[in-house]
Amino acid sequence: MKQRQVYGLDLTKMDGSGDFSCPGCGTAISPDDCTEEAYSILEIKVSSRGLEEVVIRCNTCASQLHLTGFSLLQKLPDIDGEKLENEKREGTSCYIAHV
């Protein structure tokens, strides 16, 4: 029986735009990859405070990666909401697209 490697990665301690290499085999993993060629999402953990952890599997070496550090992302809607309110007061229009 082959042992599965499990890694914990804190996204707040990484530089860049979210791309990183699998610690097990070095495969490039990008949040923009929607094909599931490099990785598959196994589990998403959410609490009353928002997104806590995402567990993914590297499709090359089958390592499980536990991604944490989403707390900074949860603060962004507050910042955008404040900016939007300021723009409404000034009378400028804006376009917001959600994916």
In the structure, what pLDDT confidence band is assigned to residue 87 with cuts at 50, 70 and 90? Answer: very low
Q: How far is CA 36 from CA 21, 31, 58, 59, 74, in A?
A: 15, 10, 9, 8, 25
pLDDT digits (tens, 9 = 90+) for 8-66: 999 888 887 788 999 999 999 998 888 889 999 999 999 888 889 999 999 999 999 99
Q: Where are the domains of the chain?
A: 6-71
CB 58 within 8 A of CB 38: yes
The span from the CA of 47 to the CA of 26, in Å, is 31
The span from the CA of 57 to the CA of 42, in Å, is 7
In the structure, what pLDDT confidence band is assigned to residue 82 with cuts at 50, 70 and 90? Answer: low
The span from the CA of 3 to the CA of 78, in Å, is 42
Average of per-residue pLDDT across 67-78: 70
